Chain A
Amino acid sequence: MVAAGKPASRAPVSPDAATRLEPGLLRLARWRLIAMHHAAGVGHLGGNLSALDAMMLVHHEMLGSQDRFVLSKGHAAGAYYVTLWSRGLIGDAELESFHGEGTRLAGHPPAGALPAIRFGTGSLGHGLSLAGGLALAARLQDRPGRVFCLTSDGEWQEGSTLEALIFCAHRRLSNLTILVDHNRLQGFGTTAEVASLDPIGRALGGFAVEIREADGHDLADMRRALEPGTDRPVVVVLHTRKGHGVPSIEGRMDSHYLPLTDAQFREALTGVREPLA
């Protein structure tokens, strides 16, 4: 059992070790993420919890030294840091500095500060172009390897994301897999209310990409959906819940901004349901 506010350490593993993601490790990461955000007194937890499962799966089971990952929804930095910590690429002390004075772990992934993070992101609409460039580089350099890019769903309202999709589809970048964290909530409303692309899979299916759908909190379903593509980029629409695993904030708008109260935090650590059966 992990004590509140002081999660257990995670022994480092080789960056190249592709291992099966065990539910217990995923639960540990979730606890660590919740505790880290609570200790720092920061929000954005909802969109971190919706993205954590996919990030953990990709990093533990799919990323080797030839592969690349770009977090386009940079506000899920906490989940990214915890994922890297779970792979031994960020230490305990560093993780505890999250959001503090003098930290390298800012509220959005930093540029050039950590070897494990290739690109600093945060302003939405950049990540898919960067991922497309990485996929193109692998092709030009005749290298193997897959590129994964995790976007938010609201981010598809950015014109530059569509510029990137047109480019990647036109270039048939089949080594690129785009994950859409479709938690249906954005900064000031639901995606359906603000600027709907729903159903987003059908909207993006108009491009030369392969659309797949998966439950973003079901590892087996995601494993199936994240199989390599054939002759074009793969877009995996992950159906997720903002604040997943913390009943008091799950699916709620305020989970985008507000930190957990102490009561919510205690509930989160004691009442969090089993992430995976």
Chain B
Amino acid sequence: MRRELCEALVARAPRPDLVFLTGDLGFGALEPLRDALGDRFINAGIAEQNMISVAAALASEGLEAWTYTIAPFCYARAFEQIRNDVCLHRLPVRMLANGGGYGYGVMGATHHALEDYGILSTLPGLRIFVPAFDGDVAAVVAAAGDSAGPVYLRLGRGELPAGCAPPPYAPWRRLRAGTGPVVVAVGPMAGVAWSALMEDGSNGADLWAVSELPLQANPPPEAFVAALRASGRLCVVEEHVAQGGLGQSLAAWCLEHAVPITGFRHMAALGYPSGTYGSQGFHRRECGLDAESIRAAFAA
């Protein structure tokens, strides 16, 4: 999604108040943005804590501040800066986090983001975007840019499966209608789930993509609730650990809203079951988050 991100921000660059800070990342991807912004493109160096606080101060002066780094270097390294300087002050800093889930693959565990939106969902006023497809990025950047409060944007691999034609970007989108279990996939897992379930018949899964969190700020639409009431079976698929993920919050939401669930399955990141490393696809397979595993799980 980096190319789409760069294009969207270049289109936004004529705004005189836009300031972009990077934690020394973007080589081979963000040069057009650097050229478009001039002295408003700031390489803040390998110092993410400082970068987040600087961005908070820029936002407090009315500037449109964006930060960019690898996801864990943002939410994990600079968590206190996000909490204190950005969120407690409700400042509209847009934090771009590259490599959601296992996106950095064989680079290893330090570069993976398996708990980001769970942790960040605990902070006041923070909007979290997890675009599902490359084509979502422009709309997400526009929404983040216009946000009055803080934003975390988890970027991942957003390939659109051949034959999949998602509706225009929205926090909740139905990708496939069916009378079977209701399946909710977060961000790019939506494309994987679609590939797994698309060949099922009309009694197959009712598939939804979720791209904005936390759930309290983005409650399910009525059509989703109606489908779930009819089915009673819910499955959540996410490249995030179960703790703090959408699955837990959605299950709690169903309890609070008296939506009866007769079956619940949570397909989530499991960390490193074999203790070895590989591509994003390797890790997804280890966790049962690839299309084949999802298909097999539903066939069982």
Which A residues lie at the B interface, using CB under 8 A? 111-112, 118-123, 125-126, 129-134, 136-138, 140-141, 159-160, 163-164, 166-167, 170
Contacts and interface: CB of A to CB of B under 8 A. Distances in A.
Contact of A163 (B50, B57, B63, B85): B50
Size category of the B interface is 20 to 34
Nearest to B49: A160
Given A120-B89, A141-B63, A132 B49 contact: no
A133 B53 contact: yes
Interface stretch (B26-34, B38-46, B166-174, B235-243): B38-46
30 contacts: A112-B88, A112-B89, A119-B56, A119-B57, A119-B60, A119-B89, A123-B80, A126-B53, A126-B84, A126-B85, A129-B50, A129-B81, A129-B85, A130-B54, A130-B85, A132-B50, A132-B53, A134-B60, A134-B61, A136-B42, A137-B60, A137-B63, A138-B61, A140-B39, A160-B50, A160-B81, A163-B49, A164-B53, A166-B45, A166-B47
Contact of B40 (A130, A140, A159, A163): A140
Q: Provide the main secondary structure of the chain B interface.
A: helix
B57 A134 contact: yes
Contacts of A125: 49
Contacts, number: 94
A160 B77 CA distance: 11
A133 B63 CA distance: 11
B5 interface: no
B90 interface: yes
B57 A132 contact: yes
Given A137-B57, A140-B39, 14 more contacts: A111-B88, A121-B84, A123-B80, A123-B84, A125-B49, A126-B81, A126-B84, A130-B54, A134-B57, A134-B61, A136-B58, A137-B60, A159-B49, A166-B45
A133 B55 contact: yes
A170 B50 CA distance: 13
Interface of B: 19, 39-40, 42, 44-45, 47, 49-50, 52-58, 60-63, 80-81, 84-85, 88-90
A130 B39 contact: no
A216 B233 CA distance: 69
Given A112-B90, A132-B50, A167-B50, A140 B57 contact: no
Given A123-B80, A131-B57, A140 B88 contact: no
A140 B63 contact: yes
A129 B88 CA distance: 16
Contact of A129 (B54, B60, B89, B90): B54
Contacts of B60: 118-119, 133-134, 137
Max chain A CB contacts within 10 Å: which of B19, B44, B52? B44
Contact of B57 (A111, A123, A133): A133
Contacts of B45: 163, 166-167, 170
Contacts of A121: 84
Nearest 5 interchain pairs by C-beta: A133-B57, A129-B53, A163-B47, A133-B54, A137-B61
A132 B61 CA distance: 12
A122 B267 CA distance: 40
Max chain A CB contacts within 10 Å: which of B44, B57, B81? B57
Contacts of A112: 88-90
A167 B85 contact: no
B178 to A, nearest CB: 47
Contacts of B56: 119, 130, 133
Contacts of A137: 57-58, 60-61, 63
Nearest to B61: A137
Contacts of A111: 84, 88-89
